[in-house]
Amino acid sequence: ETGVTQTPRHLVMGMTNKKSLKCEQHLGHNAMYWYKQSAKKPLELMFVYNFKEQTENNSVPSRFSPECPNSSHLFLHLHTLQPEDSALYLCASSQDGGTSGRAVTETQYFGPGTRLLVL
């Protein structure tokens, strides 16, 4: 496997279900991100992890719970979601999320996404 992978690619869940999205990056990066992409809206940053530590939470509802056990893996745990949470959830990674202190521009590389439908 190369790049950034995400599983599952498609997920249908009821409002009372609990499910998890998984992301794995094979690029040797130290920063990982969750984005939400809804129709007709820009990508919305949800969470950022640098070296396994959460460094940003963009006012995301608590029904979304991220987990980063190591620099290569990122999870998004879902529970009691609402129909408006239906979207494409994208994972991305970059070298170190700016934590090195260097004033460098970091490219983020994206996975294929998980298409989520909440019924």
Partner 1 sequence: EDQVTQSPEALRLQEGESSSLNCSYTVSGLRGLFWYRQDPGKGPEFLFTLYSAGEEKEKERLKATLTKKESFLHITAPKPEDSATYLCAVQANSGYALNFGKGTSLLVTP
Contact residues for partner 1, defined by CB under 8 A = 4, 6, 31, 40-43, 45, 48, 56, 88, 90, 92, 94, 97-98, 103, 105-113, 115
- Nearer to partner 1 by C-beta: 64 or 89? 89
Phi-psi region of 51 (alpha: psi -120 to 50; beta: other; left: phi over 0): left
CB of 102 to partner 1, least distance (A): 11
- Nearer to partner 1 by C-beta: 67 or 106? 106
First to last CA, the chain: 32
Q: How far apart are CA 43 and CA 99, in angstroms?
A: 23
Q: What is the CA radius of gyration of the chain?
A: 14
CB of 67 to partner 1, least distance (A): 20
CB of 19 to partner 1, least distance (A): 19
3-state secondary structure of 84: helix
- Nearer to partner 1 by C-beta: 6 or 71? 6
- Nearer to partner 1 by C-beta: 70 or 99? 99
Amino acid at 72: S
Indicate the helix (H) or strand (E) that contains 45.
strand 44-50
